[in-house]
Structure 1
């Protein structure tokens, strides 16, 4: 491909470049140029220092006439013509006569060739400059989808701006008049767009610069005095700004909708993560429960087999003892039989008679008539083992479920404090609101509606109207106490009857060992151990109130199927002091979050 490159360098730069190149070549190779060669070189390059800035250097001036490509290692003949060293060498290798391919001058002998470093450097600079300008030009050429310059002839360059007055698009070069000339500076320039003709009124062939709000269409000045005479017409810019503001609001609404949906996605992902966590936790609890049950079954099976084997071993041992004793007697009897037989065969009268007297005493033997081996009875062994297993499994399942429930309850633990405005005047509350006991003195306190005036009770400050909560209370050393939850509207004056119908879901201890659930008629609770710390768990939506022996990880009692419609408050009653026998406080304990 041939390249034509305009020399846009400044005059000073070009003069300096040529001067430096000439000096370097004359210094390095003063004999390399004849006067004729220098004149030819100047003529080839068309170097005119007074007009260097506007000089055009074409590729033809740097082409080898043999290969028709830019010089590579150029050499000069005595006649002043230049060729690639390889080209002229190969040319003379093929021809007997040594002559110049251009002017046909014949040389007596094959000339000695040396590379013309000046032309070599100029050719290299030309090649580099041409490549840069080709690359720059290619970057500016309009590509598919881009707006081309309307002024460019031949190759269309990419437009940088479009003029709404001229209705044309301009590249960087052709845009300059609009940036420099005063008359053109007033024209409205926009980012390049195609089909500028669409901005002209098809009826009047002038610029559409107004907007008819009645018909919602763009119009020109002449349209306002004809078809749109009575319509509401505003400048295009004004309507543009209004629509742009509306689009901004729409965009904000869309972004808000996008944000809401992203938040919903995050919410759903969080729900899935919670579900996954709950599934893993439930699976782990299930594996633990079934593993424990499986171990219990295997242990009960092993005990059953051991019981049966033990009975069999006792029977075998008894039989072995009897058999050994019988074999002993048989051995003695055989021995006597042998003696009798030998004596009976004796023919010595005197010897037989004398020996018979010693045989009269029978050997010591046992009467085996009533002796027998009775096989052990296995009837009911399996049934009893299964019944025992059922009881064991039931207890173990209750314990395992209680432990699992307590683990879940721990996640709903709340930091409770007692509300002094609800406390009976005899109650003594600690400064941190974590302990309550019953004193002897009736304190002078405001008789506000929230305060218990007869029942020695107090409520917690924190309430529950949805979800769940859990707290633990130390009851160690107290023979009497009440614990549970109460709804907000309970009666706090006079005698209080604890029951769900009256808004109380509680259990209590009386006389050190009488545990009851206050269901209405009391339900006596049978506990294997005396709790020292009681956990209270409430699930509002499930209608559940459960009480646990925290240390034993055992369920004490559950109110189920409750219907809560009001706020629920923790309820505490240390009961009366009873002459210091019940002076120990109820203590709200921190929950130990263990897995």
Structure 2
């Protein structure tokens, strides 16, 4: 592009930065450069020479700004900026496609719209608004088609102000009438505020978009983890079911072998009985023949003598009590397996329903968490009845979760926060508030849970203790006086006293013998049968049973860690919960089925 000045565009370019001169200086050889460009060039070189002609200077010249070239370069820059601005403005106006209202014939594209004149003007017809003083005061905006929307319909004046109270655009006359005392600002200022608000809102929207993109990635990652977890579950499930099938097949073979052996025993017994019966029949027939012959004899004197000498009762067994009962264990097994099949079928249907709902809601990924160990135990349990096992293990089917009740604990006792441990301390006495449930004189505490029917079982660790009481107590036990296990005080317990002295107490105490010092004790209660049994939970062996008891009230698990003295008997009683999975196991079997296995 050519400049209107005497210098051309090429003459106004610095040969170092290739841009229009900034603070131009002239070297003694007559060449022009930007002051900073020439100084930087000389600073980086060992010799002072002209970048154009390479003329050397003995001393670095002291250069001043060339005023003529500087002014010419400044005019050139302004001309370029104005041209660029006009070009951009024309392009923007061309995009709006608003035509000039003053043009006749072929209409040019409008550059501005005048709110005072109510018309749109092209570059040529806009000149009066730039040169005439009165027209310079008119409000010019970018060209718009619906120019009437920018004019106040009441006063026919430009909408130059924005009313913050009513959130509308108004003219100057409106501020003297309906909007006299309202908070108004120039529409440009309101526009800037709107831009800032839009920028802030846009930032918030972009932040929300970013959050949702991150959440999308998180869900995708969770989906991958779920897929991997599901594949692992499937693999583990296949392994478990394969092992389960082999175990069941092996158990089936053992069961069939056992049944066949039982049948062989029965058949052998039956054959022996039949053989013995046939022998007795032969003897009786021979006796019958002799009697027949004797009855036909005519000499009655001889008949009497012979009968008296030969008659004696036949040596035979009393067969009225001899019988062979069919084995009903097969029927019991079928009943148990049928019941188990129904239970598992219901469980699987529930899992499928849960799976379907989870898919519909898409709220969870790991919905089908199978405890394969429990499933294996559940499936194999009915078959295991034919494998000899300790009754103490089956008692655990009735395991319950027991927690100590602090409202009943004596002030001599200290309970853990989770209610699973209790101990005594000779140097520490609790100052608990009064409660009618609390034991006053003895170190006793009851559980929160009570039972008035059925069966239940719990275990307590007594390791390291020399004195303790465990069992159950009726609800109306006297809590104000001393408790005497060897008196009819409403407790059924197993107690230990110093000297490895163990006793079972229910109104009176009976000394019991244990092979080894007890470390974990199990307590089993059958409410309807009036039975309280105690087990060595470590050795899985029976200790003693209190039978023939009569329960008419609620029963509470009953604990006493005994008194601690001189660092003796300080360990706590700890309610054992390592068999909690058996509590879940109960939900899959009815008690009728379990009772048949005992």
Report the TM-score when normalising by structure 2. Answer: 0.32
Report the TM-score when normalising by structure 1. Answer: 0.32
